[in-house]
């Protein structure tokens, strides 16, 4: 699939726009247009319905150790700064960046790749921000340019091995930066905290400093006690939250995949420590199934368990659900969601203070004077189990998904081109989005075949009957073939057409986007027919 075609469709049909575009845009920020907002809302609503409101808490779902409860939360984007100190984000949430003194550009240290090459008695490390074939081609072009060689002189370039990561290079003096003309312009890697800083109230100094949340999860942990005290929940149970998160990514890229403002859909699932490995496996498999049920399947979607050495110090298991986005080099996958076993790390940190590992233990980190480096809330965040009469700090399983990445993956998977017969039976190329009906921004479009003979009146009556139930679009402009094409391109699963026969027998045609099958139903049965088709 050609990513440029999808990007162009998204702009042309109002799915996605660059933020502040009339002022030249702002890198890493995206606006959802009229159809994009419907699509993303449908993704978030499908998640909320399937994980929270639609969850049957009376019976254990397939694969779950037992029945469990799910509740929701909507916490603030700006929280007490101590939250981020105890969560570890203040000290540890950073990437390493390198700056280019020549181009004034900034790169993530681990995202610059390159190859050693020699020619005309000089050896340089020529870099690119791409991997795979694209990275190889880019480095080749740059090397030719640097050594002032023509394509026919390519044999003069002596390459050493394959693409390496800049993290594998110690001395930058021979490194030709991705946008530089001469080597040695990259600075040594420096830490860069990804949290956006702001100031609360009139205080502009450190006293008023606060952060935009880089994840929604911490809002859930700090409300654990409130939820337990105010709702009739008992462990095991989950708290779900959907909302904006902000990360000052050094190199935002790949459309909405890596943005600076994005939305997360997170669950913190609190369970008894001995059962936590079973709950971890349950959530990993349940979340993977969610994507397949909504149309991401086959080789482009995979569930990848982290290797032991990749795990955070407090975790006994983490898996990523990944998708082979078309902008990635062949064989590479991008993360859609992480499912992590977080132990009791977060609740204990907010109780006792920021924790660090000491041997096999998690202990409060101390400063040079032996005081806690970041003091916790001191509030009791353990749980008393009425049945077993035990008090313990629950373990947590965290399925953490990105709403924008999921939306992008659904769009990529849905994009298709095929050949269909036009009104005269001649083949014509069409572009369609094969979106799952639950996700499609418009569920049904209603057309009068022509703008006369009472057809618009019948079509408008059907439109108004459907309106309270589904997102419906009315269109009477242009040839009907063009109207079908416009709906196919935005993923509308069904089109209803009022034609000459309607005026005789009261039936209309319904057309299926994917199969192009058409069938007739009574005009007054359209609502039940469409509702029946949408419950899938
Ligand atoms: N609470 C755990 C957490 O935030 P994460 O892996 O950093 O974990 C979870 O983020 C998900 O949020 C990712 O799998 C991804 O879908 C989404 N996400 C993270 N950073 C993002 C970014 N810069 N742009 C878009 N989505 C992002």
Q: What DSSP assignment string belongs to 127-180?
A: EES--HHHHHHHHHHHHHHHTT--GGGGGG-EEEEEEEEGGG-S-GGGEE-TT-
Taking the CB of residue 40, how many other CB atoms lie within 10 A of it? Answer: 23
Q: In this structure, what DSSP letter does residue 280 have?
A: H
CA 399 to centroid of chain Cα atoms: 13
Exposed/middle/buried for 39, CB within 10 Å: 0-12, 13-18, 19+? buried
How many helices and strands (H and E) does the chain possess?
A: 14, 29
Query: What atom of ligand 1 comes closest to residue 266's alpha carbon?
Result: 1
How many residues are there in the chain? Answer: 536
Query: What atom of ligand 1 comes closest to residue 400's alpha carbon?
Result: 9
Task: Check if 401 has its Cβ closer than 6 Å to any atom of ligand 1.
Answer: yes
Distance, in Å, from the CA atom of 353 to the CA atom of 303, rounded to the nearest integer, reads 34
Residue nearest to atom 4 of ligand 1 (CA): 215
Alpha carbon of 141 to those of 121, 136, 149, 396, 504: distances in Å?
Answer: 19, 9, 10, 49, 68
Residue nearest to atom 2 of ligand 1 (CA): 400
Residue nearest to atom 6 of ligand 1 (CA): 338
Per-residue pLDDT of the chain (536 residues; tens, 9 = 90+): 899 999 999 999 999 999 999 999 999 999 999 999 999 999 999 999 999 999 999 999 999 999 999 999 999 999 999 999 999 999 999 999 999 999 999 999 999 999 999 999 999 999 998 888 888 999 999 999 999 999 999 999 999 988 899 999 999 999 999 999 999 999 999 999 999 999 998 777 888 899 999 999 999 999 999 999 999 899 999 999 999 999 999 989 899 999 999 999 999 999 999 999 999 999 999 999 999 999 998 899 999 999 887 777 667 789 999 999 999 988 999 999 999 999 999 999 999 999 998 887 899 999 989 999 999 999 999 999 999 999 999 999 999 999 999 999 999 999 999 999 887 888 999 999 999 999 999 999 999 999 999 999 999 999 999 999 999 999 999 999 999 999 999 999 999 999 999 999 999 999 999 999 999 999 999 999 999 998 75
pLDDT value, residue 311: 77
Task: Check if 404 has its Cβ closer than 6 Å to any atom of ligand 1.
Answer: yes
Q: Residues 404, 40: contact at Cβ < 8 Å? A: yes
Residue nearest to atom 19 of ligand 1 (CA): 402
* 96 C-alpha to ligand 1 centroid (Å): 18
Task: Check if 217 has its Cβ closer than 6 Å to any atom of ligand 1.
Answer: yes
Query: What atom of ligand 1 comes closest to residue 403's alpha carbon?
Result: 16
Distance, in Å, from the CA atom of 235 to the CA atom of 220, rounded to the nearest integer, reads 15
Q: In this structure, what DSSP letter does residue 65 have?
A: S
Residue nearest to atom 17 of ligand 1 (CA): 402
Task: Check if 108 has its Cβ closer than 6 Å to any atom of ligand 1.
Answer: no
Phi, psi of 21 (to 5 degrees): -55, -40
Phi, psi of 141 (to 5 degrees): -60, -45
User: Ligand 1: which of 339, 402, 408, 410 to mutate, most ligand atoms within 8 Å of CB?
Assistant: 402
Tokens 């162009």 found at: 8
Distance, in Å, from the CA atom of 444 to the CA atom of 1, rounded to the nearest integer, reads 26
Q: Which of 291, 288, 518, 500 is nearest to 406 (CA)?
A: 291
Q: Residues 442, 487: contact at Cβ < 8 Å? A: yes
pLDDT value, residue 338: 97
pLDDT value, residue 416: 97
Task: Check if 346 has its Cβ closer than 6 Å to any atom of ligand 1.
Answer: no
pLDDT value, residue 424: 82
* 243 C-alpha to ligand 1 centroid (Å): 12
User: Ligand 1: which of 94, 215, 288, 311 to mutate, most ligand atoms within 8 Å of CB?
Assistant: 215
pLDDT value, residue 313: 64
Task: Check if 287 has its Cβ closer than 6 Å to any atom of ligand 1.
Answer: no
User: Ligand 1: which of 16, 283, 405 to mutate, most ligand atoms within 8 Å of CB?
Assistant: 405
Phi, psi of 496 (to 5 degrees): -110, 130
Phi, psi of 502 (to 5 degrees): -55, -40
Task: Check if 394 has its Cβ closer than 6 Å to any atom of ligand 1.
Answer: no
In this structure, is the dihedral angle defined by the CA atoms of residues 316, 63, 346 and 401, taken in order, positive or negative? positive
User: Ligand 1: which of 264, 334, 337, 340 to mutate, most ligand atoms within 8 Å of CB?
Assistant: 264
Within 13 Å, how many C-alpha atoms sit on residue 61's CB side?
16
Residue nearest to atom 18 of ligand 1 (CA): 402
Instruction: Calculate the dihedral angle through the C-alpha atoms of 167, 326, 192, 247, rounding to the nearest 10 degrees.
Output: -160
Query: What atom of ligand 1 comes closest to residue 258's alpha carbon?
Result: 24
Alpha carbon of 226 to those of 78, 213, 221, 239, 271: distances in Å?
Answer: 18, 20, 10, 12, 17
End-to-end CA distance of the chain: 27
Task: Check if 405 has its Cβ closer than 6 Å to any atom of ligand 1.
Answer: yes
Task: Check if 323 has its Cβ closer than 6 Å to any atom of ligand 1.
Answer: no
């Amino acid at each position: 699939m050609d990513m440029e075609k999808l990007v162009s469709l998204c702009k042309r049909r109002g799915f996605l726009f660059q933020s502040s575009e009339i002022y030249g845009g702002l890198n890493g920020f995206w606006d959802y247009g009229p159809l994009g907002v419907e699509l993303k809302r449908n993704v978030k609503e499908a998640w909320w319905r399937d994980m929270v409101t639609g969850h049957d808490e009376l019976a254990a779902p397939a694969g779950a150790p037992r029945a469990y409860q799910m509740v929701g939360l909507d916490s603030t984007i700006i929280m007490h700064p101590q939250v981020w100190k105890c969560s570890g984000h203040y000290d540890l949430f950073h990437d390493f960046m390198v700056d280019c003194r020549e181009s004034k550009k900034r790169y993530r240290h681990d995202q610059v790749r390159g190859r050693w090459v020699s020619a005309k008695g000089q050896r340089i490390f020529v870099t690119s921000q791409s991997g795979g074939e694209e990275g190889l081609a880019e480095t080749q072009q740059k090397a030719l340019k640097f050594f002032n060689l023509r394509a026919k002189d390519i044999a003069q370039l002596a390459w050493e091995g394959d693409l390496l990561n800049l993290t594998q290079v110690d001395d930058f003096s021979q490194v030709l930066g991705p946008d530089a003309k001469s080597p040695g312009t990259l600075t040594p890697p420096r830490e860069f905290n990804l949290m956006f800083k702001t100031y609360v109230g009139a205080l502009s100094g450190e006293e008023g400093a606060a952060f935009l949340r880089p994840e929604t999860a911490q809002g859930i942990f700090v409300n654990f006690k409130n939820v337990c005290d105010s709702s009739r929940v008992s462990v095991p149970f989950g708290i779900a939250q959907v909302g904006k998160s902000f990360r000052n990514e050094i190199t935002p890229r790949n459309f909405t995949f890596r943005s600076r403002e994005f939305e997360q859909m997170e669950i913190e699932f609190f369970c008894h420590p001995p059962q936590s490995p079973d709950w971890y496996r349950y959530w990993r498999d349940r979340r993977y199934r969610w994507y397949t049920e909504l149309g991401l399947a086959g080789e482009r979607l995979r569930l990848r368990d982290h290797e032991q050495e990749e795990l955070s110090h407090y975790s006994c298991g983490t898996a990523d659900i990944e998708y082979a986005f078309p902008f990635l080099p062949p064989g590479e996958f991008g993360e859609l969601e992480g499912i992590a076993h977080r132990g009791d790390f977060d609740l204990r940190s907010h109780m006792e203070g920021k924790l660090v590992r000491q041997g096999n233990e998690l202990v409060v980190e101390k400063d040079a004077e032996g005081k806690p480096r970041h003091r916790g809330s001191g509030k009791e965040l353990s749980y008393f189990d009425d049945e077993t009469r035990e008090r313990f700090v629950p373990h947590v399983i965290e399925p953490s998904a990105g709403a924008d990445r999921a939306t992008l993956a659904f769009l990529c998977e849905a994009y298709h081109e095929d050949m269909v017969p036009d009104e005269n039976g001649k083949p014509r190329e069409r572009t369609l989005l094969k979106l799952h009906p639950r996700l499609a921004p418009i569920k049904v479009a209603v057309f009068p075949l022509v703008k006369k003979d009472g057809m618009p009146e019948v079509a408008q009556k059907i439109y108004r009957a459907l309106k309270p139930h589904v997102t419906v679009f009315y269109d009477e402009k242009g040839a009907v073939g063009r109207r079908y094409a416009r709906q196919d391109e935005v993923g509308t699963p069904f089109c209803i057409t009022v034609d000459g026969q309607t005026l005789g027998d009261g039936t209309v045609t319904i057309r299926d986007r994917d199969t192009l099958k058409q069938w007739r139903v009574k005009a007054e049965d359209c609502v039940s027919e469409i509702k029946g088709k949408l419950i899938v």
